Amino acid sequence: MSFCGLDFGTSNSTIGVAQQQQIRMVPLDADKTTLRSAIFINDEEQCMNFGRDAMSHYTDGMEGRLLMSLKSVLGSSLMQEKTRVLNQMQPFTAILGHFIQYLKNQAEQFKQSEIDSVVCGRPVYFKDGNPELDKLAQDTLETILRSVGFKHIKFQFEPIAASAFYKKQIRQEQLVLIIDLGGGTSDFCLIRMNPHNPASLDDIIAADGIHIGGNDFDKLLNYEKVSPHLGRGTLMRALNGSDLEIPSYWYHDLATWHKINFLYGKQTLIDIQQIYTQAYDKSKLARLVDVIKYRYGHQIAEHVEACKIQFSTQNQTDIDLSFIDEALFIPASKTEFADLLQNDLLKLEQTIQNLLNNAGVKSEAINTVFFTGGSSKIDAIQQHIMRLFSHAQKMEGDYFNSVGMGLTIEAQEIYNG
């Protein structure tokens, strides 16, 4: 029985296998073991491109559509909808299948054997506060996994998978809070971890999560810092002669990865061009017209994300939008970004507090706080959370591979055990 561990993430995905009983993360993009969770429907070449290759084909101006944040389809109304893919109408779930099939193919090429068994990660909640929709999301994902050739399928919460990786690093029993902050969700798991017990005997005390992640932080930065330079907040003269603010819904969609493509319909451009004739600040609305006309939305999102990532090492940077207007460099600071995150930080804190309350555990009892997931690199998040556990040690795993490694470790225990 050949197996893998699959971390299908909102922003990035990984897949791991075992070779000579050693866990190996599969190279997916040259020598990188992470693959951007993106597909480019390539109308010119009548094919699909995946990951960073998808991004480069799109930014090179090839005809087609870029689909990102694929995992966000699970638990949303898009699970039931169809879209055009290479001259055929296909459900969005089939598009997820194409992406997962690509990951499986890469793993099989790396391992030089067919893979029929998988432990697949899942967030604590696909959909907050809706158990029925959450179950439907997992059932849908299981159907997709079977459709690409997996015969034996197990699921594991992503933060629990991350703990399997961390467990190999400890020497004595600990009460560990695993914090997995990804692109779409923030998941928390409280575990009494004993390095001498098999995983099945670990005392998993509680798990919780919330639908907040890196994509939400990108959206905040995009909406608050970029959209005012495209006309948000400026005024227009209405047909009745009164002054109205430019409609904001375009800017919300432009800041939301999976909604950007919907702005590229002809009617949206017609509507914005009509607003342009009524706008007072025509220079900013002209930028918005160009963004829609030339399909710059994903490029903006990429540059906003790059700005966010730079805050891990810099206090001040610019969002470079010179491809829209050669003089458009928007200054942004780490302090401003931290201020934008305050509401989400409070929601993360409340979710953690609910976890502790439901488990009947005091914050002082936590020995270690273990961070994983790309969004946990954000200083403001780590600092805010560690203030709640000032006595605990902070540990950081491989931000992008801890979950995938843990899933593969569990797959090895289940299918080779």
Secondary structure E strands in 158-256: 174-181, 186-193, 203-210, 235-237, 243-245
Largest distance between two CA atoms of the chain: 76
For residue 160, name the pLDDT band (cuts at 50, 70, 90): confident
pLDDT at 417 over 80: no
Q: Specify which residues 389 forms β-bridges with.
A: none
Say which range, 143-152, 253-262, 312-321, 377-386, has the weakest mean pLDDT. 253-262
Task: Specify the pLDDT at position 6.
Answer: 98
pLDDT at 108 over 70: yes
Helix, strand, coil in percent for the chain, rounding step 5: 45, 25, 30
pLDDT at 199 over 60: no
Alpha-carbon span 178 to 1, nearest angstrom: 30
AA letter at 345: L
pLDDT at 165 over 80: no
CATH topology of domain 3-159+403-415: Nucleotidyltransferase; domain 5 (3.30.420)
Which of the two residues, 168 and 57, has the higher pLDDT score? 57
Helices 297-310/51-59 angle, 10° precision: 120
For residue 145, name the pLDDT band (cuts at 50, 70, 90): very high
pLDDT at 26 over 70: yes
Q: What is the DSSP string of 39-57?
A: EEEETTTTEEEEHHHHHHH
Task: Specify the pLDDT at position 166.
Answer: 79
Which of the two residues, 166 and 156, has the higher pLDDT score? 156
Q: b/e string for 379-401 if b means 16 or more Cβ within 10 A?
A: ebbbebbeebbeebeebebebbb
Alpha-carbon span 407 to 404, nearest angstrom: 5
pLDDT at 201 over 90: no
pTM over 0.75: yes
pLDDT in tens, 221-278: 999 999 999 999 999 999 888 999 999 999 999 999 878 888 988 999 999 999 999 9
Q: Nearest to residue 69, comparing CAs of 325, 282, 259? A: 259
Q: List the end-to-end C-alpha distance of the chain, in Å, as a whole number.
A: 11
Q: Nearest to residue 149, comparing CAs of 350, 6, 261? A: 6
Which of the two residues, 69 and 288, has the higher pLDDT score? 288
Which of the two residues, 233 and 84, has the higher pLDDT score? 233
Task: Specify the pLDDT at position 30.
Answer: 84
CB 361 within 8 A of CB 389: no
pLDDT in tens, 390-401: 999 999 888 889
pLDDT at 388 over 80: yes
CB 42 within 8 A of CB 62: yes
Tokens standing for 283? 């220079």
Q: Where are the domains of the chain?
A: 3-159+403-415
